[in-house]
């Protein structure tokens, strides 16, 4: 079958040894960017015991149909997306764009790129001077293949690659080439197997969408009030109550702003590319059940889901209640109320909403084979701590500009409380690819 064929691909043992060397002995991060398929590459890696050493495979996605009898291959850069614009690469995959995305997500002291074909020169035209390209001799014979700023090393056989990498890491101590520490756990390929329906849970603010929806409303219509948020929250650590107070002020100071105008603007809250595709893929192709657990509010979430065409794909939204209230002057304003009628006593969560208890309630009502949880902030730690070894938590990673999200930090500070696999993410494209990987493993 196809999996066995992928496992039997010819290989050079020294190349495999080189991967183990740089990861196991020198602590480097190893990724594969290929115009092959994720299924084929992963099958090869698992067969040769390299699944743990390779942190990410970027390739064309695959999924099974007809009860596992038909393997469908989809381009990494789908036809529904705008062209990547690279004249040097095929339409389905630009390796240069992929590497740019990788370097935007994490800081790396050095980059080593091992390539074997002319298509591998594209990254060298876009990356900084500290990249080293290890290229086959045949490629070096082509004129003007690599820019003058790129350091190029030649290889012909696997022994050459092993020797070049060993010499490089002896020259540069591992602490100079290792990436910033990110706590991760069991490889997804080992965790995600078996059958049954998958539950996908999204936090909303800065996870499914790329802004905080409650703050976004005031950034658009009354930015001065944003400056008072932290002070107000210090006096009243319940966000729905704080924002409810701000909506009262907004209604008094700017009566021309109706709830309809506010909701219409918040509905257009930014959402990262491919995030919508990730949700649709999970539901349409893999039959997953998608829910939202959020410390935002029901009105803004409802409007945003409708604007972005996600209403048919979201099974349930669990959040703080929002509705419209008629004031004494006859005008209406937005009212916010806590999700829980009685304050919760969770040590990790605000009293108005405990995401962990909500997740427990969901799982008590229905059995799922696995749970995928996508979050960013400290409020997502409680549900993450209740996941099992069969589940995956996607924790938003720090940005290149230094901006930090609370979930990953809290996981790093409390690693013994997390049983699920932890996968960092930054973009909607990350979520799409990770979903494709883990959901394919499920099938």
> What residue has token string 């706590």?
183
Residues in the chain: 443
Q: What is the CA radius of gyration of the chain?
A: 24
| For residue 125, pLDDT beyond 90 | no
Cβ–Cβ under 8 Å, residues 437 and 407: no
Highest mean pLDDT among 339-343, 389-393, 431-435: 389-393
* 103 C-beta neighbours (distance < 10 Å), count: 17
- Output the six-digit token pair for 94: 């630009």
What pLDDT score was predicted for residue 24? 80
- pLDDT mean over 97-110: 77
- Return d(Cα 208, Cα 428) in angstroms, integer: 8
pLDDT tens-digit readout, 340-379 = 888 788 999 988 999 999 999 999 999 999 999 999 999 9
Query: Is 385's pLDDT higher than 90?
Result: yes
Mean pLDDT of the chain: 84
pLDDT band at 64 (very low <50, low <70, confident <90, very high): low
d(CA 150, CA 401) in angstroms, rounded, equals 25
Provide CATH code, domain 191-442.
3.40.50.1000
Please give the model's pTM, rounded to 2 decimal places.
0.61
Query: pLDDT tens-digit profile of 25-57?
Result: 777 889 999 988 888 898 899 888 898 899 888
CB burial string 411-443: b at 16+ within 10 A, e below: beeeeeebbbbbbbbbbbbbbbbbbbbbbbbbb
Task: Give, in words, the CATH class of 2-179.
Answer: alpha beta
Going by DSSP bridges, is the β-strand pair 70-74/54-65 parallel, antiparallel, or unpaired?
Answer: antiparallel
CA angle 72, 73, 75 (to 5 degrees): 150
The runs of H, that is alpha helices, within 254-329 are: 259-266, 275-284, 298-307
Q: Where in the chain is the domain with CATH 3.40.50.1000?
A: 2-179, 191-442
Tens digits of per-residue pLDDT, 254-289? 999 999 999 999 999 999 988 999 999 999 988 999
């Amino acid at each position: 079958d196809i999996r066995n064929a992928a496992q039997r691909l010819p290989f050079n043992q020294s190349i495999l040894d080189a991967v183990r060397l740089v990861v196991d002995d020198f602590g480097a991060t190893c990724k594969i960017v290929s115009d092959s398929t994720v299924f084929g590459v992963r099958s090869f890696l698992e067969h040769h015991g390299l699944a743990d050493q390779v942190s990410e495979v970027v390739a064309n996605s695959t999924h099974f149909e007809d009860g596992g009898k038909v393997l469908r291959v989809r381009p990494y850069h789908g036809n529904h997306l705008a062209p990547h614009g690279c004249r040097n690469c095929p339409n389905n995959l630009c390796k240069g764009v992929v590497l740019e995305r990788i370097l935007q997500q994490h800081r790396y002291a050095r980059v080593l790129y091992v390539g074997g074909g002319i298509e591998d020169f594209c990254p060298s035209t876009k990356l900084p001077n500290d990249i080293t390209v290890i290229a086959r001799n045949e490629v070096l014979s082509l004129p003007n293949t690599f820019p003058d700023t790129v350091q190029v090393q030649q290889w012909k056989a696997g022994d050459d690659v092993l020797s070049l990498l060993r010499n490089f890491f002896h020259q540069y101590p591992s602490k100079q080439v290792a990436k910033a520490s990110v706590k991760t756990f069991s490889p997804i390929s080992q965790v995600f197997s078996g059958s049954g329906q998958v539950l996908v849970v999204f936090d909303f603010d800065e996870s499914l969408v790329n802004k905080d929806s409650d703050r976004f409303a005031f950034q658009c219509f009354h930015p001065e009030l944003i400056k008072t948020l932290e002070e107000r929250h210090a006096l009243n650590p319940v966000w729905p109550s704080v924002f409810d107070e701000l909506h009262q002020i907004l209604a008094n100071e700017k009566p021309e702003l109706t709830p309809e105008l506010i909701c219409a603007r918040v509905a257009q809250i930014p959402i990262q590319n491919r995030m919508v595709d990730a949700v649709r893929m999970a539901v349409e192709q893999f039959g997953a059940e998608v829910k939202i657990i959020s410390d935002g509010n029901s009105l803004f979430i409802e409007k945003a889901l409708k604007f972005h065409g996600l209403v048919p794909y979201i099974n349930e939204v669990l959040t703080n209640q929002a509705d419209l209230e008629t004031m004494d002057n006859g005008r209406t304003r937005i009212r916010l109320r806590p999700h829980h009628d009685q304050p919760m006593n969770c040590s990790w969560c605000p009293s108005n909403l405990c995401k962990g208890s909500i997740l427990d309630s969901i799982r008590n009502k229905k059995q799922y084979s696995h749970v995928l949880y996508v979050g960013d902030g400290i409020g997502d730690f409680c549900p993450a701590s209740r996941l099992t070894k069969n589940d995956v938590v996607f924790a938003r990673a720090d940005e290149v500009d230094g901006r930090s999200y609370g979930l990953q930090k809290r996981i790093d500070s409390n690693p013994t409380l997390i049983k699920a696999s932890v996968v960092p993410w930054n973009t909607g494209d990350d979520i799409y690819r990770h979903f494709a990987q883990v959901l394919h493993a499920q099938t």
